[in-house]
A and B are shown apart, each in its own frame.
Chain A
């Protein structure tokens, strides 16, 4: 039995190779960091969530200053930022849960 976990073929192919966003928003959240450790993965995910949030904030600032901006694009960025944060939160909840399970384990 090999030490590394291989994804099943349907799961491994779940991401398209070239996601292009028509609104120009980057695909940071969807970026897969291959061949790195778990910490790097979490850090990359956090940075992606932060980038989404910063983009939403940037759009809000532009709108408040009367810059050229579509209202719906700002709202969509806010929603994107909220969804990616929710995803991060769920990952964090699972991690904390399993950590606590481990800590409660009787030895």
Chain B
């Protein structure tokens, strides 16, 4: 049993969820920042996960295993700026306020970021469970013949 490639799949899943957590954490950490201009402040990030190259085609068992062994079953991700205007807040006393007395805050939905965090933790757990199952199967395979 090739546990290396099975571990690699789960590791890729964990990598994505870790990156998702980091993006959400960065968004939350910058949620309260202000800037004096609508475009110079923090830009909200989001993580876009791309499906693995297994794609949508159905394949025979052997072809699927081959793709798994070649590392094609792992998904990828990229982090991009989420389009959205900065929120304009009236704060006349602020040292960075513009001529009309406005400062700008990044457009971050804190509740949505918390949901992202919770989901990331759950999917991470699921990947750990999958990896543990793979490890258990490998160790069980090593038990073959030891009972005699």
Q: A interface vs B, CB < 8 Å? A: 16, 18-23, 25, 27, 29-30, 70, 72-73, 76, 79-80, 83, 86-87, 90, 93-94
Cβ 8 A contact of B7, one of A19, A79, A93: A79
Chain B 118-148 interface 0/1 with A at a Cβ cutoff of 8 Å (1 = within): 0000000000100100010011001001100
Number of residues on chain B facing chain A (CB within 8 A): 27
A52 nearest CB neighbor, chain B only: B4
**Residues on B with beta carbons closer than 8 Å to the beta carbon of A19:** 2, 4-5, 69-70
Q: A22 and B3 in contact (CB under 8 A), knowing A70-B15, A72-B14, A83-B138?
A: no
**Residues on A with beta carbons closer than 8 Å to the beta carbon of B18:** 70, 72
- B135 lies within 8 A of A23 (CB): no
- A22 lies within 8 A of B71 (CB): yes
Q: A30 and B7 in contact (CB under 8 A), knowing A16-B65, A79-B135?
A: no
Tell me whether B8 is interfacial, beta carbon within 8 Å: yes
A79 nearest CB neighbor, chain B only: B135
A70 to B139, CA, bound (A): 24
- B131 lies within 8 A of A16 (CB): no
Looking at chain A's contact residues, the main secondary structure is helix
A73 to B147, CA, bound (A): 33
- A22 lies within 8 A of B74 (CB): yes
- B70 lies within 8 A of A16 (CB): yes
Cβ 8 A contact of A76, one of B65, B69, B74, B131: B131
A82 to B2, CA, bound (A): 14
Looking at the assembled complex, report how far the CB atom of B15 sits from the nearest CB atom of chain A, in whole angstroms.
Answer: 7
B144 nearest CB neighbor, chain A only: A90
